[in-house]
């Protein structure tokens, strides 16, 4: 509960301070949503100034003079607090360390530059125009290096590790590096084995072109099936799908539509609906406060991938989805037979785009980005050399070379948005999704039969108490171990993909 700043209770004072900053962050995210969905292209400069102003005020609130002393006063009385309040206070301290480490002007500069660069990226990607992107990205990287260095000194970690901690506390290089090494070694031969098996399958019947209006209806039907209240959500289109955090009761997420392939909107909608379900189920009593935020991006990604990959691509749900597609999309029903939908969905891809990738290839896309952005941050890789290095690494990992920059180093918006240290969560979240889903099904055998009816309720009932309601009131390791019975590893993911792609019957 937020109280006026003149309250004598030290904890109440810091709660008000950090909750106010959280509300400003929520407003900033809503402005970003508008920038990606409705804002005219010419508005990028003004929007950058607005975002910079909000960032500067937020930074002063949680990292300015006197905040350290206020936190210390509250910490001296922590024994009087309830356990969740102590956890909230601990998260405030972690948030303060990040905010206080970096000068406000530097944070505002990053917000301003990233907003402008996202607008440049939106045009540069379809035009394969790396030249217009490169120079401002190089300038943004210089600011990002200063931020990383300042945070590394405050946290006592590497610069890249400090940026990871901002997005994913508890998921550092020490955890990521050995897991990524294991995946990089294990997945290519497994992919080859699955491709050999699938070579004997009949070719799937291509889905016919689908009008955007019908895809939009299908997206809304899926969001409601997932569990979203039609009075509390909206879906829009964006070049790169995302969901808006920190907005309880006003759930906004985006998808993308391709008239020639409805799979994109289906999987993007399920993915973002999963993110949005996590946000919608966070504890309202701690809304906008550090302890009430999601427990880092790997946990967030586990909730989107639990929905999109684990449940959404299960045989049970696909057999429900097929007739729904036929009903909403219309036309020849043959491509929407359960057998064909399963065949099309289970096929390993030969694409170049991360967000389109199959489950086995997906972590490799993330590992490529992880290695590249670490080199960019350190300065070992120059921005001018990025396209060639990307293409060479992609060819080595996947055996094919991107045909364009839009399908290569310009495909994702994250670097334009200044999200360095963010990408590892996409693969770590996939591993956690498998580990959570495995445990959920072991504890509740009703989950899979419910998916055959298009009912995600049993899974979210299981996840709500073990993941959503815990927010950031426990650490990453504790959340994972208590929810699944063991620390995070690649074991459950490898069991899952072997079972789904090598052991389940062919379509």
144-188 tens-digit pLDDT: 999 999 999 999 999 999 999 999 999 999 999 999 999 999 999
User: Which pLDDT belongs to residue 6?
Assistant: 58
Domain ranges of the chain: 10-167
Band of pLDDT at residue 437, cut at 50, 70 and 90: very high
Active site residue 173: no
Q: For residue 65, what pLDDT is reported?
A: 86
Give the CA-trace dihedral at 284, 432, 414, 34, to 10 degrees: -30
Q: What is the pLDDT of residues 84-141, one digit of tens each?
A: 999 999 999 999 999 889 988 898 899 899 989 999 999 999 999 999 999 999 999 9
pLDDT of residue 55: 87
Residue 64: per-residue pLDDT:
84
Identify the CA nearest to 101 among candidates 52, 150, 61: 150
pLDDT tens digits for 236-270? 998 878 888 888 888 899 999 999 999 999 999 99
Buried b (16+ CB within 10 A) or exposed e, 19-30: bbbbbbbbbbbe
pLDDT 10s digits, 180-216: 999 999 999 999 999 999 999 999 999 999 999 999 9
Residue 501's pLDDT is what? 97
User: Using 50, 70 and 90 to split pLDDT, how confident is the model at 282?
Assistant: very high
Give yes or no for a contact between 359 and 497, defined as CB atoms under 8 angstroms apart. Answer: yes
Q: What is the pTM of this model?
A: 0.92
Greatest distance between any 2 Cα atoms in the chain: 73
The whole-number pLDDT of residue 5 equals 52
- Round to whole Å and give the CA distance between 214 and 219: 9
Residue 222: CB atoms within 10 Å: 24
Q: What is the SS3 assignment for 444? A: coil
Are 424 and 171 in contact, with CB atoms under 8 Å apart?
yes
Lowest mean pLDDT among 41-45, 92-96, 437-441, 475-479: 41-45
Q: pLDDT value at position 7?
A: 58
pLDDT digits (tens, 9 = 90+) for 42-63: 998 899 899 889 988 988 899 8
* Helix (H) and strand (E) counts in the chain: 20, 2
Per-residue pLDDT, 2: 42
Position 1 pLDDT exceeds 50: no
Residue 6, classified by CB atoms within 10 Å of its CB into exposed (0-12), middle (13-18) or buried (19+), is exposed
Catalytic residue among 75, 91, 166, 272: 272
Mean pLDDT on 467-495: 97
The arithmetic mean of pLDDT across residues 32-36, rounded, is 89
**Is the pLDDT assigned to residue 449 strictly greater than 70?**
yes
Instruction: State the Cα–Cα distance between residues 409 and 63, nearest whole angstrom.
Output: 35
Q: 349-398: per-residue pLDDT in tens?
A: 888 999 889 999 999 999 999 999 999 999 999 999 999 999 999 999 99
Cα 294 to Cα 250: distance, rounded to the nearest angstrom: 17
What is the pLDDT at residue 238?
A: 86
User: 389, 421, 385, 405: which is closest to 129 by C-alpha?
Assistant: 405
Tell me, what DSSP letter sits at residue 243? B
| Inter-residue contact 141 to 377 (CB < 8 Å) | yes
Q: Give the span between the Cα atoms of 179 and 489, in whole angstroms.
A: 7
| Backbone dihedral angles phi then psi of residue 170, each to the nearest 5 degrees | 95, -10
Averaged confidence pLDDT in the chain: 94
CA 3 to chain centre: 32
Expressed in angstroms, the distance from the first to the final Cα of the chain is: 53
β-pair partners for 460:
none
């Amino acid at each position: 509960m937020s109280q006026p700043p003149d309250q004598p209770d030290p904890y109440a004072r810091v709660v008000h301070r950090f909750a106010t900053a959280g509300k400003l962050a929520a407003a900033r995210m809503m402005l970003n949503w508008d920038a990606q969905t409705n804002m005219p292209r010419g508005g990028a400069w003004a929007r950058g100034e607005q975002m910079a102003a909000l960032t500067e005020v937020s930074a002063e609130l949680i990292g300015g003079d006197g905040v350290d002393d206020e936190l210390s006063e509250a910490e001296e009385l922590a024994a009087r607090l309830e356990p969740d309040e102590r956890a909230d206070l601990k998260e405030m301290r972690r948030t303060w360390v990040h905010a206080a480490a970096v000068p406000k002007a530097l944070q505002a500069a990053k917000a301003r530059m990233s907003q402008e660069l996202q607008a440049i990226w939106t045009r540069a990607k379809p035009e394969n125009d790396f030249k217009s992107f490169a120079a401002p990205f190089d300038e943004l990287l210089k600011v990002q290096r200063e931020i990383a260095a300042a945070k590394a000194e405050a946290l006592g970690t590497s610069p890249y590790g400090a940026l990871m901690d901002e997005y994913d506390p508890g998921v550092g290089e020490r955890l990521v590096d050995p897991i990524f090494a294991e995946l990089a070694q294990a997945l290519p031969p497994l992919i080859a084995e699955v491709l050999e098996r699938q070579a004997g399958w009949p070719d799937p019947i291509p889905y016919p072109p689908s009008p955007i209006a019908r895809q939009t209806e299908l997206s809304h039907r899926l969001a409601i099936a997932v569990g979203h209240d039609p009075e509390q959500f909206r879906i829009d289109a964006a070049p790169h799908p995302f969901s808006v955090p920190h907005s309880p009761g006003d759930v906004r997420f985006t998808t993308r539509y391709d008239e020639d392939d409805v799979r994109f909107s289906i999987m993007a909608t399920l993915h973002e609906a999963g993110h949005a379900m996590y946000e919608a189920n966070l504890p309202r009593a701690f809304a906008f406060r550090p302890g009430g935020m999601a427990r880092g991006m790997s946990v967030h990604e586990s909730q989107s991938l639990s929905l999109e990959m684990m449940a959404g691509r299960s045989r049970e749900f696909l057999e429900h989805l097929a007739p729904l597609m036929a009903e909403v999309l219309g036309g020849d029903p043959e491509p929407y037979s359960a057998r064909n939908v399963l065949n099309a969905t289970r096929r390993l891809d030969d694409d170049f785009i991360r967000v389109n990738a199959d489950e086995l290839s997906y972590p490799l896309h993330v590992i490529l980005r992880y290695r590249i952005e670490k080199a960019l941050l350190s300065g070992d890789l120059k921005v001018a050399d990025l396209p060639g290095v990307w293409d060479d690494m992609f060819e080595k990992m996947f055996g094919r070379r991107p045909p364009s920059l839009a399908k290569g180093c310009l495909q994702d918006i994250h670097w334009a948005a200044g999200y360095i240290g963010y990408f590892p969560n996409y693969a770590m979240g996939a591993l956690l999704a498998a580990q959570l889903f495995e445990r959920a099904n072991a504890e509740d055998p009703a989950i899979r039969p419910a998916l055959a009816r298009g009912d995600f309720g049993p899974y979210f009932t299981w996840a709500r108490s073990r993941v959503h309601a815990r927010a950031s009131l426990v650490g990453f390791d504790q959340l994972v171990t208590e929810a699944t019975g063991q620390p995070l590893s690649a074991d459950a993911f490898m069991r899952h993909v072997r079972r789904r792609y090598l052991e389940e019957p062919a379509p």
